[in-house]
Every structure is written in C-alpha cells, then in structure tokens.
Structure 1
C-alpha cells in the first residue's frame, strides 16, 4: 500500500473547503477564511485559483499554510492536508497534495511526478469514471461532481443528484469488497462537491459519503468557522441516521428469523425434510 493511501485512510474528510478568491472578496482574504475553516474542524483544504499564475498560487498555498499554523499551532497544523487544484508543478515544488479533473493533467502522470507519499485527488462525474479510477489505482480520493447545479463552476457534467452519488459509492464498495483487507483499506475515499447545503450534506452522510466539499458555503459565510462546523454536524448526523437504520434492519431480520423456523434453519422447510435434519447455516443480517 502506498503511504498516500495510508494517509487517506487516516484523514478526516468530513468537511473539505475549497478556496475561491472571487467569492472571498479577494485573494488576500483567502488565508483568513482557511484559518476559520480549520478552526471549525476542517482537516483537508484545497487551494483552487483557476486564473492566477503558478507563482501566485504557490504564494497563496504558503500563506494558507501559515494561517493554518497560526490557527491551530504548528503541531496540529501538520495534521491538515493542503491540496492544490490542477497545478502539478506547484504541488511538486511545495510538496503539497494535488487534485485534478478529467480534462486536467493525466492522473497517471501526476502520480509519477508526485511519488507515493503525496495525496492525489480526481474528479469523477459518473459510475464509469469511478470504476476507471478504481481500476487505475492512482487516486487516493475521488470528488463526485457535481452533486447539484452550482454557479461556482460552469464547465461541469450534469448533476449526479443523490441517486447518482449512491451509484458511484456502490461502484467504490464493489471495488473494495473481497477478502483482502489491504485492498479494502486502499480503496479511494469519496467526497461530494457542487451545490451542497446543510440538508444535502446530511443526506450525503446517510448514503455513506466520506466528506463534502464546500466553496461558497464557507467562502461567503459571515463566519467560516461556524459554517464549517455546521456542515460537519450535518454530515455526522447523516452518518448517525445511517447507523440507526442499519441497526433497525438487523433487529428486524433477527426478529423475523426468531418467528420463522425456516429462517432459523437457514433455508425454507421442504417436503420430506425437517429443520432438525437440514444443515444448520445461520443467515447473516444485512450490513
């Protein structure tokens, strides 16, 4: 397993802010918004500035790192993963993580340049792209995009919606299933981006997303710290709902098995056979 895959498994992806200087009121305000976001619980940040030069983006990454250190302290700041969007040279120069889109730098080329320690993210917009990313094995995190229509980016695929996001997550789970625990641990993480508000964040938590990316919801907020904390609460509430639903399903299954002799035996009772004479196989509750 790559070191980047191990890091992806340790990170808290719950809220993943993505910067935007235009929405923030200028590039000089971005580091302060990032500081607020990490104070609100974000442990992954992406610096995305489509129209700035590489030099300006590199300077912004440095400024954001300093802002994170000031907000959390040097030791805690090392636990925050800072990505840069579609700037391979900047990522290599500064040793920061990289996110690319389908039409950006080749993900295979990016992995070769980054090495095995740095995280690599990739945007996917449908189950087929999700499957290809899993088979390629280069990306550590997949950005499901867009979930809903958004004015932040206009060059996106049609919105996935919750159903589309669920289908992409199903592909990920199928790719990570099997008996090899190392294979499961190395499956890409999945975050959602595009038009995400508190209600949608909770629903995404319910279907098993690792985290939600937020641009305008944090960049335009009066308090980026409070906005980040609220999004995190919504996602975690969705996860709790998912856990309760699974527990209820398992309890219902057990109750049905107790009331049905054929379920207790592991298969329906057939003519000429009794539960006591059949092979005893316990049917496992759904997970």
Structure 2
C-alpha cells in the first residue's frame, strides 16, 4: 500500500556514496527526523548479500517510525529482508512478475522518462503504486542515465500520469521549489543532495522547506 505521507521528501541512499554500511545507517538515523518520508536503498555495485544485510539494518530505523523502505531492483532482497516494496526500471524484472511475487500490499514503483514509458505505466494500472520520473536534470549519481527530461517535460508526464509521481535526478535545495511549482510532481527524490552533503540533516530540512515553498508557489499560480 502507498502511504499517504509519501508526498514530500523521498531519500535514495547509496551506501557507496554514504561512505559504507555503517555510515549509511548513521546518516539515515540522523535524517529521518528531518522530514524524510520514504527511503529507497539503491546499491548497484554491491553483492546481494551485502544489500540484504544493509536492508535489515535500515529497517530497524525505518520500521519503528512508519517510514517505508523500498529496495531498488531486487525483489528477492525485498522478500528476504521484509522491506516494504521495490522500485523497478524498464530493464528490470517485469512489473507483472514482481507484483505476483510481492503480493498486493507491497509498494511497487516504476521509472519513466518518456511518453512511451508513461503509456506502458498507464496500461499497468494498479500493478504499480507510483512513478519515478527523471532524470529531471543531469546527475553524476547514475552514469548511464537517460537524457534529462527537464522541467517542462516532467510537467507533461506528471499531468498525464494516473499514478502519484516522484521527480528524481539532479534535484537539490537550489532547484527543488522550481521543480515542485512548475514540474508539479507529488514528491521529490534525492540522493547526493543529502548523502553527499557536509551537513545531511541541514540539507534534509532545507529540502523539505523548499518542497513546501514550491507547493505554495504552485497553489498561488493556480489561484491567479
């Protein structure tokens, strides 16, 4: 099930970017109280056994606080760890197969970055719970990312989506309000803006403030 409080700050943690397993756990424990509403563990360069161990440790932080933990790509790690869901891309396990394995209550996110992928997501209907849309801007976090969609295309995709949308890719405190106001996603996802920040807790708070500022800008524009 998709939590109602998803629609704010979505943190993607990469243990390599965080400085290792223990630093990742420490960082998450610090930033959760600062407004993070959902967490995704993305570790493309780690062995599944290490991802599983980290997922279990992260769950000790997220579960007592009612914060969903999503596993990127790996349905088997999600099932073995007891995490709350999985995020998939077009080249991962088919959504239909993932939903069958995970059952009806797991959160299932799906990445889109163009109209063709959006149409596929629309056809998938209730098999998925939300869309990750991006990258919005160029990002060094994922070297093989698709071409950036930009804010206007983000807005087009979000306006046509039948699912809640999470904008991702190159988002930080300097552009978060603009992305929320013009691109009109339901939430923003960040990686390096928090994981690589010198002061992660301050970065998380600033992002939450900018998300709210963007929402107010959007509302003010709609009322004019």
Match of 1:24 in 2: 18
User: Does structure 2 retain, via aligned residues, the 8 Å contact 1:144–1:191?
Assistant: yes
Pair member with larger Rg: 1
CA RMSD of superposed structures (Å)? 1.4
Does residue 130 of structure 1 match 2:118? yes
Match of 1:219 in 2: 195
TM-score (norm 1): 0.74
Match of 1:276 in 2: none
Q: Deviations over 1:73-116 (max 9, x none)?
A: x3xx1x20100111110112223210011111111111111110
Match of 1:152 in 2: 141
User: Does structure 1 retain, via aligned residues, the 8 Å contact 2:38–2:68?
Assistant: yes
TM-superposed deviation, 1:68: 3.7
Cα distance in 2 for partners of 1:37, 1:160 equals: 28
- Which structure has greater strand proportion? 2
Cα distance in 1 for partners of 2:53, 2:155 equals: 38
Match of 1:242 in 2: 218
Q: Deviations over 1:13-53 (max 9, x none)?
A: 31111111222122221011111221111110001111212
Cα distance in 1 for partners of 2:97, 2:5 equals: 24
Counting matched residue pairs gives 221
Cα distance in 2 for partners of 1:12, 1:46 equals: 12
Match of 1:193 in 2: 168
Cα distance in 2 for partners of 1:131, 1:95 equals: 31
User: Does structure 2 retain, via aligned residues, the 8 Å contact 1:40–1:224?
Assistant: no
TM-score (norm 2): 0.93
Unaligned stretches of 5+ residues in structure 1: 173-186, 249-287
Cα distance in 2 for partners of 1:127, 1:31 equals: 37
Match of 2:150 in 1: 161
Cα distance in 2 for partners of 1:37, 1:102 equals: 30
Match of 1:44 in 2: 38
User: Does structure 1 retain, via aligned residues, the 8 Å contact 2:16–2:43?
Assistant: no
> Which ranges of 4 or more aligned residues in structure 1 deviate by more than 4 Å?
none
Q: Deviations over 1:198-257 (max 9, x none)?
A: 232111211321111111110111222221111111111011011111112xxxxxxxxx
Match of 2:71 in 1: 84
